[in-house]
Structure 1
Amino acid sequence: MSKRTIVAMPGDGIGRVVLDETIRILTAAGFEANYVEADIGWEFWCKEGNPLPKRTIDLLEKHKIGLFGAITSKPKDDAASELTPELKNKGYVYSSPIVGLRQYFKLDICIRPCKTYKGNPLNFIRRGKEGKIEEPIVDVVIFRQNTEGLYGGVEWSNPDNTVYAALTSHPKFVKNFGDVPRDELSISTRIFTKNGTSRILTAAFEYARKNSYKSVTVCEKPNVIRETSGMMFKLAQEIQRKQFPEIELWNTNIDAQMMWLTKNPEYYGVIVAGNMFGDIVSDGFAGLIGGLGFACSAQMSEDGIAVFEPTHGSAPKYADFKTSIVNPIAMVESACMMLDYLGETEISRRIREVVAEVILEGKVQTYDMKKMSGKPDVIQKGAASTYQMADEIIAKLKTKHSSYGYEKSC
């Protein structure tokens, strides 16, 4: 049987180091694959005026599965200023390559698990009755609609006549913005479709059923954003009633949810939201399990293309450190989601089991786990480097593989 080919996209900043170390871990765990590196990110924007070259799209179309590190994104004017001289003032406009991937391949289903690791010093704690310190177990999976909503990219500054005429057909626009000069207007749309909304809702309910979650929470703002959020909750009610009557359907507003997630995070199971609110609530829950160093994600299309990535950024301030200090666990967890998607559930189980052991033991901790500021001297102060964390995971994997008969002869 031939090995799978995985499209490895390091991207920018710390993306390369966390991806490289994760591939080391995958190999040590027994996952056999060929990795083909693909170009994406800021370097290619500056050199080519395109952070998502067609050659990278072609690789994903061919091989279907991608592991992605991180990207750097900057505002429009800053991006334009960093183009190589021969590309400046040629009409190139920067857009996020990861958003571009989502749109091109219709990676509309985004899954972001946020689960507590026992012994993680960064876990959320609260004060309970009689001042007792409590550490609630968080086990939340956010389903985020990935291609529509505010991230759909339908935007204008100084809208043209056609767009402006459409806007002025709405009485509230005329009342509230009709006297604003057109060249002072910047407009972003929030578009939900019935098909896209139904797909993310159905995926959330199916996941809840398969993994024995008791509830699905729609986290939007239907009391104010009545058309889009309202449609999502109405469709959720129909889908729950017709297909998933055994699963409770809850409804929360995004602002209230952000308050409640620190009050009773253990109450929630599967949460589903549109693009922006899904982004917000997933970062909120990630903060309860240790921050973005533990936040993983998967995004997939109806056509079988899937990309797996940590939700953290490229952290350029850390990228040039002589020894990398960043926590690779979010990337490792994202790779485990890839393994599950590919049916390699035994390998993903072993990796997660070992990561849990490393965290519980607490002998090897990156700077964030030690609650240090991210500076180059944290290694001298006892924090583990990115490589040391990966080495510890690999050492435990090898010990377990040997004891269970998993080691292969060379």
Structure 2
Amino acid sequence: MSLLNLPLSADLDRLGEQMHDLARAQRSFQALLEAVVSISGELELPAVLRRIVRTAMELVGARYGAMGILDDTGEQLAEFVPLGLTPQEKAGLAGVEPPRGHGLLGHLIHHPRPLRVDNIAAHPDSAGFPPGHPPIRSLLGVAISVRGRVYGNLYLSDRKDGKPFDRHDEGVILALAGTAGVAIENARLYDQVRNSAERFQRLLLPQLLDLRPFEAGALYRPARTPGQLGGDWYDAVKLSDNSCTAVIGDVIGHDLEAAAAMSQTRSMLRALTFDGRIPPSAALTQLDRIMHLTGGQLTTACVARIDPVGRGWMLRWSSAGHPPPLVVLPDGATHYLEAEPGLPLRVDVTLPRPDHSRALPPGSTVILYTDGLVERRDQNLTQGMRALAALARHHAREPVDQLCRTLADHHPGDGLDDMAALILRTPGP
């Protein structure tokens, strides 16, 4: 009777193995679909690369993973992105040069076919590991191509269950590599579009002229949306009587028309403010009339003029629906120049525009900015303005150029709108 049962038992064993393999394939397929969605959701290239490595490790249960990016010659690695190292393992590799593509890494560079190695030390192309490198035994490597050219290699080491990588693991990672190539290309295109748009935007903005004895600095940061043009601008001119006129503005919109309107509006306002005999309100009123005749776009702006008065300075400004200037006094105290903001340009040219004035002691800092610097979609604008004032107060003693970088790097806005700021500091006593 036992002899009759042998074939049936063997068949059941094979069927069980096939069912196990089928279940594993289904799990891997589902995980792969989720991985495709996850990777495709990233746009920043560094984040894409790390997401690819992390996803590959999860798909096959690898303890370590890395992405090696080839240089322009395609002969060695220009960048190496490792994941999975513990803090202690990272400390052990402190000061060690990243891999350049020797040993098995070089083998995969020159033979861009899937590579599975059960025992790295026994492989004839193995070059060993540098001091402090954690011990690893197995390797699974596949090439990642972008537009038909090998972009880099994905490396996985040591399954957590202690088993060597198998053909199923190789197939899953090969499928992931195809998706990874598309995600990398999308991220590179995103960078190109964003950089081109930012470069075009910066070409429209002026280079600050020599404003001495005032210290001056300006910043512009585009929105995170790729290819989005903005209407933010700034300008400043020193006049013959040692006064200085500063302008900040924002044309509503995020397209080519907004950028073109910004350039035209900035040029017209510079011509109007260059004549120091007219107050800021008159410059905005004349600009509004011109825009009504020529068909400009809805715009907010603030024109400020700083005049020497006795041993100090007098700030005179007028706003067309723009956020109020922020003043940082020499002792670090901050306050916004809250006053009648006026209507934006291109709304109603018949209404008067008021002028405002405030005395400034020597060494005061005036910050003009656009709303992108403080605006968040999930909170009130007042909260962003408070955060900006606190940031400026904390860094009040920094040189103006450094203060610009600080505001740009730590701005309270959410980055969904472009931002600009112009900072002027009056001479000390």
TM exceeding 0.5: no
TM-score category of the 2 structures, normalised to the smaller one: under 0.3
The normalised TM-score by structure 1 is: 0.26
More relative contact order in 1 or in 2 (CA 8 Å, sep 6+)?
A: 1
The normalised TM-score by structure 2 is: 0.25
Between Structure 1 and Structure 2, which shows a larger proportion of strand residues? Answer: 2
